[in-house]
Structure 1
């Protein structure tokens, strides 16, 4: 089973590529600077918080299926995405100029 990209990286996904009913709440979540900072910290699972449950109930309910039913898959996927992002940033910082 594939975990939707908006569950793995909700602050980086293009909302045009997700189902229509989730677009507006996801835009609101992406505008929430506090949750964005906590998510980017990497130590915080936003899908297990009361804040997201009360402020974004539709997203929370849909995400719970993937986060609770498949916690290992979710954590592995998030881990791979984070490593990929770190490697991409490291490659972009390399100076490939001639020495």
Structure 2
């Protein structure tokens, strides 16, 4: 049960971070879900917004998938990095 709670906490934190980034980028009309592609017809992040997302995730979790050399394509792949990958030691901010 605790692993499931951590998964939900990580996922909701990541969705919130992305929603805030989109709002600052005047893209607040875009709906964010775990299945959302990060680029293209999904969230439509450009390279600068992707770099900003990377920095925000690093601030929130102490590490990020982009800085680790990964290129996640969906919001779920970012969450998976923290749930089961190299970011698994990261704690969810209170």
TM-score higher than 0.5: no
TM-score by length of 2: 0.28
Higher Rg: 1
Q: TM-score, normalised by structure 1?
A: 0.27
